[in-house]
Chain A
Amino acid sequence: MGRALNEGLRRALEDDARVLIMGEDVGRLGGVFRITDGLQKDFGEQRVIDTPLAESGIVGTAVGLAIRGYRPVCEIQFDGFVYPAYDQIVSQVAKIHYRAAGKVRLPIVIRIPFGGGIGAVEHHSESPEAYFAHTPGLKVVACANPEDAYWMIQQAVASDDPIIFLEPKRRYWEKAEVETGRPLASAYPLHSSRVVRPGRHATIVAYGPMVRTALDAAAAVAEDGRDLEVIDLRSLSPLDLTPVFDSVRRTGHLVVVHEAPRSGGLGGEIAARVTQECFYSLEAPVLRVTGYDIPYPPARLEEEYLPDLDRILDAVDRSLEY
């Protein structure tokens, strides 16, 4: 997936001379996850910019560059380091188009490797998506596989609205063939969710790193004759829940999975809307399998904290037995 993102960024840089990449260590080093590997060498220091170590500065200067006509792609090194930029993102990036009554556009992408599962120290495993999904003016997406990573990053760069682009860092090393020959316009729409495994008995909704976990869970029970549908949300703001409604109307059971803490998380929003739209189809309450309402625990405990195959299947059992 890391390579797919790299190729996607490369193509974005090639396609539009106004596209810039900026962040800490993105140049000579190629980023701590090597997502921008080789890009500075090929596109120069003016377009792939090693910035001072200041996140608010990265996003704040990206605003000015965007006003000037550039299309900056900012890298925030880790999820837990985005907060110094939070004010610029929430008060400026999200609101300037509105403040200007449409006379200013901010085509800014803020890439954030997010989520846990890599045994990291504190601040390197967080899931801050709800903060951004709750902010009008931002769009928030999360890729879950190499194919989507390649296309979604290009679509995000092409978007005239600012986008928080969440990358499931523990899936960076996941491998798959990506068909790169098609035009960008033919790619699956950026803000649409997708059924990634059809099923009849219950619906699992996930995004980012949890899509793989949900698929593994579905595969594990398939031979027992339990047929789970898995939906990859892909877009967290706006949410595209039409496929979820359709699915729940068929299955009657919904389990939402995310790594982020439960209270105030996206799972609650999804549950509320599914309840509103599919009230008479639901055969059980919508269940959530999420991180707990605690700060991200030390790495030795993260396997306990993170939703895994067993916790998902336990929730499916509870839903089906309701």
Chain B
Amino acid sequence: MSNVPASTDGDPELVQLLTPDGERVSHPEYDVDFTDEQLRGLYRDLVVVRKLDAEATALQRQGELALWASLLGQEAAQVGSGRALRDQDMVFPTYREHGVLYCRGIDPLKPFRLFRGVEHGGLDPHENKFNMYTIVIGAQTLHATGYAMGVAMDGKVGSDDGEAVIAYFGDGASSQGDVNEAFVWAGVFNAPLVFFCQNNQYAISETNERQTRVPLYQRAAGFGFPGLRVDGNDVLACYAVTRRALDEARHGQGPRLIEAFTYRMGAHTTSDDPTRYRIASEVEAWQAKDPILRLRRYLDRIGAADDAFFGEIADEAAREAVELRERVLTLPDPQPMDMFDHVYVDESPVLTEQRDEFARYLATFEGGHHS
């Protein structure tokens, strides 16, 4: 049996501003003050991000992507935290933060290039203040910590203009040495860093009980900084807690841990079969907590949007998905010789020799392709 207390709605330990029924509730410490237009904007983000994700899963099923790591169910955690970022803040994602990437204004084609096998990343982290996806579990939390130490060394903390860093990871990653080392380092160096853990309940097939004896947010206390648990399916609450944590970090108050309690509605990746390790009723219970549905109910309840709006957004998302599909299908493959590029800034003669050897070999085939 589980020895990890599960969070339920109404749990005082869970920061929630919007119930699954779309009822706006108050919290003693956290609040948001959005205009109707801003709320509609969040709704749009959630719907588009989900639609593009669904398109990706479809493309993988059709053999057009090697793999896809779906964010289905985690849209609120990603859009809420992603929209809480200020321009100067820096993001260190895992390989599932397509929603945060979208909020960062990066071409949504980017992760498709990776999962289609056209490139490994190919991104300048400074351009949109968004680092490349990191596939090795938890490794990026140390990169985020070092980067945040650099922010502090540059004197960029201590004011509203200060820079903060956010490191994404999951419940499985919380067991990694690198994540725990990142906690230690961020703590002792007082790094301006928000650790954002999307606890989607599963590390592929393994549940929280295999990763932790305590609720994950409580880990922070042992490392000397605050941690909290937020309803990860509540975009308003995710925004509120992330905004506050980032602002505290940028003002020099050090690291924070946010555990966004959510649920991975789909498979770990398209290579996974979740029916082997979880029952349908559990998935159904979480469907009732759907992040998009609850915001829609809320918008409906307060009269901030009507069916025409919801229909418009659905159409817009569908159009974006079709457009994206076209762009994925017409992505040019890299050229064989490209694989030798960018191993080093200053290429070694040994590698140049191998590059030339391969070029000569290729030239023996008509058209320069041997496949």
Cβ-neighbour of A191 out of B131, B144, B348 (below 8 A):
B348
Contacts A64-B150, A99-B120, A100-B124; is A52 near B343 (CB within 8 Å)? no
A103 touching B123, Cβ below 8 Å: yes
- Chain A residues with CB under 8 Å of B185's CB are 51-52, 54, 57, 61
Count chain A CB atoms within 10 A of each CB in B123, B149, B188 and give the residue with the most.
Answer: B149
A16 at the interface (CB under 8 A from B): no
Are B151's CB and A102's CB within 8 A? no
**Among residues 34 to 64 in chain A, which have CB atoms less than 8 Å away from a CB atom of chain B?**
46, 51-52, 54, 56-57, 59-64
Interface string of A90-128 (1 = CB under 8 A from B): 011001111111111100000000000000000000000
A161 beta carbon closer than 8 Å to chain B: yes
The answer for the CA separation of A161 and B92 in the assembled complex, in Å, is 22
- B142 within 8 A of partner (CB): yes
B346 to chain A, nearest CB (A): 6
* Closest beta carbon of chain B to A189's beta carbon, Å: 11
User: In the complex, A14 Cα to B136 Cα: how many Å?
Assistant: 36
Contact yes or no, A64 B344, CB < 8 A: no
In the complex, what residues of A have CB within 8 A of residue B151's CB? 68
B146→A68 contact, CB < 8 A: yes
Q: A57-B182, A137-B344, A191-B348 are in contact. Are A101 and B143 (CB under 8 A)?
A: no
Find chain A residues with CB under 8 A from B122 CB. Answer: 99-101, 103
The smallest beta-carbon distance between A89 and chain B, in angstroms, is 11
Given the complex, which residues of B lie within 8 Å of A70, measured CB to CB?
Answer: 150, 153
> In the bound complex, do residue A239 and residue B350 qualify as a contact, i.e. CB atoms below 8 Å apart?
yes
User: Taking each of B177, B178, B181, B185, which has the highest tally of chain A beta carbons within 10 Å of its own beta carbon?
Assistant: B181
Residues of A within 8 A of B220 (CB): none
B139 touches A87 (CB 8 A): yes
Q: How large is the interface on A (under 10, 10 to 19, 20 to 34, 35 or more residues)?
A: 35 or more
* Cβ-defined contact, A60 with B344, below 8 A: no
Q: Interface residue count for B (Cβ, 8 Å)?
A: 43
Q: Which of the listed residues A54, A57, A136, A160 has the most CB atoms from chain B within 10 Å of its own CB?
A: A57
**A residues less than 8 Å from B311 (CB atoms):** none
Determine whether B121 belongs to the interface, using a CB cutoff of 8 Å to chain A: yes
Name the one of A46, A84, A87, A105 contacting B153, with C-beta atoms under 8 angstroms. Answer: A46
In the complex, how many angstroms separate the beta carbon of A123 from the nearest chain B beta carbon? 18
Question: Is the CB–CB distance between B121 and A101 below 8 Å?
Answer: yes
Determine whether the beta carbon of A65 is less than 8 Å from that of B343.
no
Shortest distance from the beta carbon of A93 to any chain B beta carbon, whole Å: 10
The answer to whether B181 and A60 touch across the interface, beta carbons within 8 angstroms, is yes
A102→B178 CA distance, assembly (Å): 25
Contacts of A68 in B (CB 8 A): 146-147, 150-151, 154
| Contact present for B121 and A63 (CB under 8 Å) | no
A102 to B145 alpha-carbon distance, docked (Å): 22
Give the distance in Å from the alpha carbon of A30 to the alpha carbon of B356 in the complex.
Answer: 46
Q: How far is the CA of A92 from the CA of B92 in the complex (A)?
A: 14
Contact A60 B139, CB 8 Å, known A54-B181, A97-B344, A99-B120:
yes
Smallest CB-CB separation from B352: which chain A residue? A238
A88 at the interface (CB under 8 A from B): yes
- Residues A56 and B341 in contact, CB atoms below 8 Å apart: no
- Whether A67 and B131, one on each chain, are in contact in the complex, defined by CB atoms closer than 8 angstroms, is yes
| B346 in contact with A104 (CB, 8 Å) | no
Query: In this complex, what residue of A is CB-closest to B92?
Result: A64
Residues from chain B with Cβ under 8 Å of A57 in the complex: 142, 145, 178, 181-182, 184-185
B112-133 CB contact bits vs A (8 Å, 1 = yes)? Answer: 0000000111111100000110
User: 8 Å CB contacts to B: which residues of A149-184?
Assistant: 159-161
CB distance from A169 to the nearest CB of B (A): 26
Chain B residues in 8 Å Cβ range of A65: 146-147, 149-150
Q: A67 to B131, alpha carbons, bound, how many Å?
A: 9
Known interface pairs A52-B184, A103-B122, A104-B124; A88-B142 also in contact (CB < 8 Å): yes
Taking a contact as CB atoms closer than 8 A, the residue among B123, B146, B343 that contacts A62 in the complex is: B146
Given A64-B142, A64-B149, answer yes or no on A54-B184 (Cβ-Cβ < 8 Å).
Answer: yes
B residues in contact with A234, CB < 8 Å: none
B143-A60 in contact (CB<8A):
yes
Q: Are A60 and B146 in contact (CB under 8 A)?
A: yes
A139 beta carbon closer than 8 Å to chain B: yes
- Chain B residues engaging chain A, CB cutoff 8 angstroms: 92, 119-125, 131-132, 134, 136, 139, 141-151, 153-154, 177-178, 181-182, 184-185, 188, 341-346, 348-351
7 contacts across the A-B interface (CB closer than 8 A): A52-B181, A64-B148, A88-B178, A101-B341, A104-B132, A161-B345, A161-B346
Q: A69-B150, A99-B122, A161-B344 are in contact. List 15 more A-B contacts (CB 8 A).
A: A51-B185, A57-B182, A60-B142, A64-B148, A67-B150, A92-B134, A95-B120, A96-B132, A97-B342, A100-B342, A102-B345, A103-B122, A104-B124, A136-B351, A191-B348
